[in-house]
């Protein structure tokens, strides 16, 4: 089917279902160029509570040199398997295409279990066939495409007032008690 608002497909056999939106405000976070990311064999486990965060900026408002940047939040589901030894879930990398990763790429056979077996073998992960679920995930992506035209950029016409003295920024989500331009000391 086609999403009536965006005129984009809401399902793709290779990638699954999509929810499209227009004019979405980005998530604002402090950023200093450093990321926290889930890496295979390093920090790829997560508790059963959802959603699991796959990538986000590492800075906060106390990080020297960090500035407020916009990010696109991507919400999805990723294949994971239960690890009884640690009572956690572990992301398993599926084999999606080509034969380098094994004989069962997902986009050929459309069999998640076989694709996860291939992927686990290739990445040296432990996976018991048939034990996967799709875990809720989210990640923040840098905003480098699907951006509004320059003439709609914040600060272009109204200067500082596009963000300050308006409801555009959720100051509490950034660790402040209010807009620092209106309340001295609200961002200690």
Residues 106 and 28: their CA atoms lie apart, in Å, by 35
Per-residue tokens: 40: 């295979």
The pLDDT of residue 111: 95
The pLDDT of residue 82: 78
Cβ atoms of 172 and 180 closer than 8 Å: no
Positive or negative CA dihedral for 154, 7, 71, 33?
A: negative
DSSP state of 24: P
Residue 94 has pLDDT above 90, yes or no: yes
Mean pLDDT of 102-129: 94
- In 3-state terms, what secondary structure has residue 161? helix
The pLDDT of residue 145: 67
Per-residue pLDDT reduced to its tens digit, 139-185: 999 887 667 777 877 788 878 888 888 888 899 989 999 998 888 88
Per-residue pLDDT reduced to its tens digit, 41-63: 888 888 777 788 999 999 999 99
Residues 24 and 16: their CA atoms lie apart, in Å, by 21
The pLDDT of residue 25: 84
Question: Taking the model in full, what pTM does it have?
Answer: 0.78
- In 3-state terms, what secondary structure has residue 186? coil
């Amino acid at each position: 089917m086609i999403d009536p608002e965006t005129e984009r497909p809401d399902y793709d056999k290779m990638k699954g279902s999509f929810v499209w939106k227009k004019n979405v405000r980005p998530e604002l976070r402090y950023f200093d160029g450093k990321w926290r990311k889930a890496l295979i064999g390093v920090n790829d486990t997560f508790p059963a509570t959802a959603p699991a965060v796959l990538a986000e900026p590492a800075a906060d408002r106390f990080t020297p040199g960090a500035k407020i940047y916009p990010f696109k939040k991507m919400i999805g589901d990723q294949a994971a398997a239960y690890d009884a030894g640690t009572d956690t879930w572990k992301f398993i990398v599926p084999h999606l295409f080509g034969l380098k990763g094994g004989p069962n790429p997902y986009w050929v056979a459309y069999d998640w279990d076989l694709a996860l077996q291939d992927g686990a073998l290739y990445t040296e992960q432990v996976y018991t066939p048939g034990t996967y679920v799709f875990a809720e995930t989210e990640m923040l992506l840098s905003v480098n495409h699907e951006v509004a035209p320059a003439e709609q950029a914040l600060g272009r016409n109204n200067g500082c007032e596009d963000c300050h003295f308006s409801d555009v920024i959720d100051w509490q989500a950034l660790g402040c008690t209010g807009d620092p331009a209106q309340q001295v000391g609200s961002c200690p």
